[in-house]
Amino acid sequence: MTTGTDSRAGHGGSATARPLDGKVAIVTGAAGGIGRAYARGLAEAGAAVLLADLALDGARAAAKDLEADGYEAAAVRVDVSDEAGVAEMARTAAERFGSVDILVNNAALMAEIMGGTLTGIPLETWHRTLAVNLTGPLLCARAVVPYMAEKGYGKIVNQSSGGAFLPSAHYGVTKLGLVSMTMSLAKELAPKGIRVNAIAPGWVNTDAGLSTTPPEVRAALAASIPIPFGDPEDLVGGLVYLASPASDWVTGHTLNIDGGWIPRT
């Protein structure tokens, strides 16, 4: 869904108070697709952003784009399934920008592990999917908690998927696992002032998402979803809300942003 608005409105030099002024955010998987839009959205809302990705060149390019527009941004290479690397990522954000207030657990394996069945996929694929999509967000959360706890305030947003609520094999297992992890971490971290929520997007136009879906599947989806497809930018408002003080009484929640794909009661 394209709004036609100028995404550069609220430029880094703007004198208007923004909801995330003075905050520091880490976005994992920020080299492209949704993560890159998330990083820009947080920067436009006032945050300094560390873009973390396995694909360092992409993360660097995205950070450079933000800096060119007057925002504070930096890039770092990380494998979210590597505990030491993730700790280094959190340290880098704190050293570079002074603290960590917001973590967006967006990195995941998706297009590259899609297809196959739970009874048929190689065990190696199962383990790697869990390591990146589920253990990764937990490691990232653990790494930032000390920085947030020190201030008594923080926001963690986990990127789930509408696929969590439909049969989606190993991918869906990890995304529904994230919904559960969100609820548990919300309870566990509330006394430290840290809110933990999730976003479950529907079908989004990214290289890894809708763009790789065969035309006949796309047509069937379009016929069954009230507002069929979204762009990464359609998720940004929800993210900024969950990252900002406006959502301070919201925790453990999974927000479906999906054009009505997954009806929830």
Q: Where on the chain is the footprint of ligand NAD (CB under 6 A)?
A: 28-29, 31-35, 53-55, 78-81, 106-110, 132, 159, 161, 201, 203-204, 206-210
**Interatomic CA distance for residues 115 and 111, integer angstroms:** 9
**Min CB(81)–ligand NAD separation in Å:** 5
**Min CB(217)–ligand NAD separation in Å:** 12
**Min CB(53)–ligand NAD separation in Å:** 5
Q: Which of 38, 71, 147, 171 is catalytic?
A: 171
When the beta carbons of 190 and 219 are compared against ligand NAD, the nearer one is: 219
**Min CB(21)–ligand NAD separation in Å:** 26
* 71 is known as an active-site residue: no
**Interatomic CA distance for residues 197 and 253, integer angstroms:** 5
Ramachandran class of 82: left when φ > 0, alpha when ψ lies in -120 to 50, beta otherwise:
beta
When the beta carbons of 71 and 171 are compared against ligand NAD, the nearer one is: 171
When the beta carbons of 80 and 150 are compared against ligand NAD, the nearer one is: 80
List, in sequence order, the alpha helices (H) in the chain: 33-44, 56-68, 83-97, 123-130, 136-151, 169-189, 215-224, 236-243
**3-state SS record for 217-246:** HHHHHHHHCCCCCECHHHHHHHHHHHHCHH
When the beta carbons of 132 and 169 are compared against ligand NAD, the nearer one is: 132
Give catalytic residues, as residue numbers: 171
